[in-house]
């Protein structure tokens, strides 16, 4: 149900953005203008360092680690009985494929909506592509969700709490820095989070159903 709600909200938001030809939605301008007007050098440097982790190597490494942690446990019908190394490699590749698949969905939506970014004079950095949904936000949130899922599956106690907290905070901060640095409207970031929430809930439901079927068999 949560995934369905997130999917509906994402679809509605995407249609609203498309119908307005990419113009800011209510709330976008206020948060954007505040961000542009409150960027001391130290805060800007920190924001750039955080936002850089939301794309490139870092999120893909996070996804690979998450998949390796879970290994074949997420796909018992496929990798059952394989040696530990093969199971871990399979899990890592599966997580990487999930992240790539979500990126393809995001790219398709981005091209369909065709939303321009905020004014170039407000940017810190040199972003490319269209604006909705935010690529850094989607990528980091998806990688963080994979890591959270892995932590909940294979870790216990303090280690699990630390990994889940760090992953969630990282994903949120990456999204917020995209707004703070002026390269995305707030609703671009919201769209990225909703897309990942919908995809994550759908995958979780499918995995849970498969696990129950395997247990019954």
Is pLDDT of 215 > 50? no
> What is residue 85's predicted lDDT score, i.e. its pLDDT?
75
Is pLDDT of 171 > 70? yes
Q: What is the tens place of the pLDDT at every residue in 55-81? A: 999 999 999 999 998 875 644 554 445
Virtual CA dihedral for 68, 73, 79, 81, nearest 10 degrees?
A: 110
If one compares 211 and 159, the residue with the highest pLDDT of the two is 159
**Which of 124-133, 152-161, 198-207 is predicted with the least confidence, judged by mean pLDDT?**
198-207
**Closest to 105 in 3D by CA, of 209, 30, 14, 9:** 14
Please return the burial class of 157, using the count of CB atoms within 10 Å of its CB with bins 0-12, 13-18 and 19+: exposed
If one compares 216 and 18, the residue with the highest pLDDT of the two is 18
20, two tokens? 């307005």
Q: What is the tens place of the pLDDT at every residue in 19-69? A: 998 899 999 999 999 999 999 999 999 999 999 999 999 999 999 999 998
Q: What is the tens place of the pLDDT at every residue in 81-104? A: 546 677 888 889 999 999 999 999
Mean pLDDT of the chain: 89
> What is residue 208's predicted lDDT score, i.e. its pLDDT?
61
216, two tokens? 């019954």
> What is residue 79's predicted lDDT score, i.e. its pLDDT?
47
> What is residue 201's predicted lDDT score, i.e. its pLDDT?
87
């Amino acid at each position: 149900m949560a995934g369905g709600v997130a999917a509906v909200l994402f679809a509605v938001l995407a249609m609203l953005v498309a119908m307005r030809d990419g113009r800011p939605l209510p709330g976008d301008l206020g948060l954007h203008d505040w961000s542009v007007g409150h960027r001391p050098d130290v805060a800007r440097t920190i924001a750039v360092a955080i936002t850089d982790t939301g794309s490139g190597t870092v999120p893909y490494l996070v996804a690979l680690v998450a998949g390796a942690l879970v290994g074949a446990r997420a796909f018992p019908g496929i990798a059952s009985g394989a040696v530990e190394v093969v199971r871990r490699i399979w899990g890592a590749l599966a997580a990487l494929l999930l992240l790539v698949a979500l990126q393809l969905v995001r790219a398709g939506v981005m091209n369909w909506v065709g939303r321009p970014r905020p004014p170039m004079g407000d940017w810190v950095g040199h972003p490319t592509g269209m604006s909705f949904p935010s690529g850094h936000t989607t990528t980091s949130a998806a990688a963080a969700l994979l890591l959270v899922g892995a932590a909940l599956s294979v870790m216990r106690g303090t280690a699990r709490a630390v990994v889940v907290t760090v992953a969630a905070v990282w994903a949120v901060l990456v999204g917020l820095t995209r707004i703070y640095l002026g390269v995305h409207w707030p609703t671009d970031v919201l769209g990225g989070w909703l897309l990942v929430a919908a995809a994550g809930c759908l995958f979780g439901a499918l995995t849970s159903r498969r696990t129950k079927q395997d247990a019954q068999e």
